[in-house]
Amino acid sequence: MSARARWFALLGLACAAAAHAQDFAGAGPMAGDAGAFVQLERALPPQKPELSLATSQTRWWRLAELETRAAALAASWRTLRAALGVSQTGAPDVGWTAVGIALGGACADAGAGLRAVARADRTAPFAPVRLASQDAGLELGGGAWLKPAPAVRVWASAPQLYVDGAAPPLARSLELGVRAGGDTGVWVTLAAPRAGDDGERALGVVLAMPPVSVWAEVRDAPLRGAAGLAAGLGHLIVQVRTDAHPVLGETLRLGLTWRRGGASAP
């Protein structure tokens, strides 16, 4: 088994019970509306047009050799939405590089999109070229959201409708969610069962106190929690998120976003 295969096996076993996102894991709640990372990770385009540049760093379970560094750019034109991102995970000898693209459209009451992510070993020369080779991993997915009422938003996200090549670090099934409220609100999500489990359920709440917002979320299988804080200063938004797991420990995520247009700073 290659070093990358061993790394994927270890990370996959851990992620199956602990992580909710992988290559483009931002520091905000995944039930949020706008943001390049949400579009790249879940194929859910933002409601309002925006131009944004986001960066994040995730240290999974306090392991220095298991970090994800990502950057993404999102842009809009009328009802069209697009995002492009790149990330690196793990140490140079066993980690990988991922490139993602997301395209979609949105209006005031509905939106839908597609995502594609390709991965290649960091040890492979000319990584951008290897991302298109047969040795690379590829996943394609889609998502859609709808506002059936002014203060209600429902969505469905299937990030891995098609997978080819090297297996992704995390098998992700269909997720359904609903959020009620505005900047202050609550949400519930339900992930479909995968091999070896009966799915996952989550309940979250966010409290906006401009220019700061705080949020918390609890998940099952196993029971665990996450909490975060966001602070806005003009076009800049700083985010901090921590995820706690009863066995694997704590994951810390930091994010910085420059945004023009779209959703207002928290």
Q: Residue 63 has what pLDDT? A: 79
Residue 125: pLDDT over 70: no
Asked if residue 151 belongs to a domain, the reply is yes
Query: Which structural domain range is residue 134 located in?
Result: 3-261
Residue 22: pLDDT over 80: no
132-184 confidence digits (pLDDT tens): 556 678 999 999 999 999 999 999 999 999 998 877 878 889 999 999 998 89
> For the residues of 97-136, what is the DSSP string, one character each?
EEEEEEEEEE-SSEEEEEEEEEEEETTSSSHHHHTTSTTS
Number of domains comprising the chain: 1
Which three-class secondary structure state does DSSP give residue 176?
strand
Alpha-carbon distances of 186 from 39, 235, 257, rounded to whole Å: 20, 25, 23
Bond from prior residue into 128 cis (ω within 30 degrees of 0):
no
Asked if residue 88 belongs to a domain, the reply is yes
Region 185-211: mean pLDDT is 89
Query: Confidence band (pLDDT; 50, 70, 90) for 130?
Result: low
40-54 confidence digits (pLDDT tens): 999 999 999 989 999
Q: Cα(113)–Cα(40) distance, rounded to whole angstroms? A: 10
Q: What is the mean pLDDT of the chain?
A: 84
Asked if residue 235 belongs to a domain, the reply is yes
Q: What percent of the chain has pLDDT over 70?
A: 83
Model's pTM, two decimal places?
0.85
Asked if residue 266 belongs to a domain, the reply is no
In sequence order, which residues have a C-beta less than 8 Å from that of residue 77 and are 6 or more positions away?
Answer: 49
